[in-house]
Structure 1
């Protein structure tokens, strides 16, 4: 958690918005360049084709949605098979794939007549944009895991790590301790009521607190039929 503008913002949301800023800055840096002799030429992400500027817009949209939900109290729609948090993950993942595709398909200026003297390839803007999009996807995954949103094929997972659909323990019984934790102080086993507070008497019959008293005459005697 982080404090931004007097608001408590989840780490995943901070990471998504920060990654959006990184992608935005990278869009104005050279994504592709070539040099010939003493001449250099380069183009930014906005001029590198659809598979460059579209993932930039996609990352900015993801960061904008998170910022609107965080600072503008905008409620994201939850209908349909794909929830808002999962949609953010998909948006970041598509942006990563498109930027990788742009990197692979950059033109090779070295295939021209002056191949020995021309140097071309991806520049710093593309690499920075790829890092930003990958970081955004990772933080979006963290946001999804902490939201309790439905994940296709895995059911519903609440933020506390349990599984929706499980029945609560019977009334008067405590849930089992989390893995690796010790039972609570007091010595009461899980599944039984703790002893009564100091100064209170146990129930009539002498039975321990949380248990039923034995039948009249003891457990070994059959009940009396009038």
Structure 2
């Protein structure tokens, strides 16, 4: 295993995916009701899709980024650029933090869990909410997102340029004339971008992810 084949961003994202997966099996939602304590992980009720799906995405992407360290080169054009790898990590990290935050705000409260008991009379004491592992993974997602953004900008990426490219493509699709139902659609032709999506200067072809760039002659 040779970690020098991975950049800092790839190392952080690989570690983040592994750590998020490990902590997803620890107390993710916990509480105490009438003196009885309990907890569940990210794969059990009341956790749901918003909890385990981002964990799975980060784990898979972390494994993919880690493969060159064990001698597996990936001939995937999308991952050949360091800016692309960091941008994908930024999107996945942001998605994870967003879904986890939504889930944390919609977890059942004490009254939701003890509504039937309260109707019988008396006061039900206790507290429930996200467990400590939930907050740890939330911090991991934020750290992965920050490092992905730093790696993206250091590789020459620009969020403004990505937004402009997406807007241009959306406008090109909207300007295509609609065809009546049953008439074959003509293939969409998008105008060639004047500037690359990432960076200020066109980049030379990149080798497969995990292979080093051949030296250039002087």
* Common topology (TM > 0.5): yes
Residue 117 (1) aligns with residue 125 (2):
yes
Match of 1:20 in 2: 17
> What per-residue deviation string (whole Å, max 9, x for no partner) do you get for residues 167-208 of structure 1?
xxxxxxxxxxxxxxxxxxxxxxxxxxxxxxxxxxxxxxxxxx
Contact kept? 1:110, 1:120, Cα under 8 Å: no
Contact kept? 2:43, 2:52, Cα under 8 Å: yes
Secondary structure in 2 matching 1:7: helix
| Mapping of residues 126-145 of structure 1, within 5 Å | 126-145=134-153
Structure 2 CA distance, aligned partners of 1:97 and 1:120?
Answer: 21
Structure 1 position 102, deviation (Å)? 0.9
Structure 2 CA distance, aligned partners of 1:5 and 1:15?
Answer: 15
Larger Rg: 1
Structure 1 position 70, deviation (Å)? 4.5
Structure 1 unaligned regions, length at least 5: 166-226
Secondary structure in 1 matching 2:90: helix
Compute the RMSD of aligned alpha carbons. Answer: 2.7
With CA pairs under 8 Å and 6+ residues apart, which has the higher RCO, 1 or 2? 2
Residue 164 (1) aligns with residue 171 (2):
no
Residue 77 (1) aligns with residue 74 (2):
no
Match of 1:88 in 2: 89
Match of 1:97 in 2: 98
Structure 2 CA distance, aligned partners of 1:157 and 1:55?
Answer: 26
**Higher-helix-fraction structure:** 2
Structure 2 CA distance, aligned partners of 1:164 and 1:11?
Answer: 23
Match of 2:52 in 1: 53
Structure 1 position 130, deviation (Å)? 0.7
The count of aligned residue pairs is 156
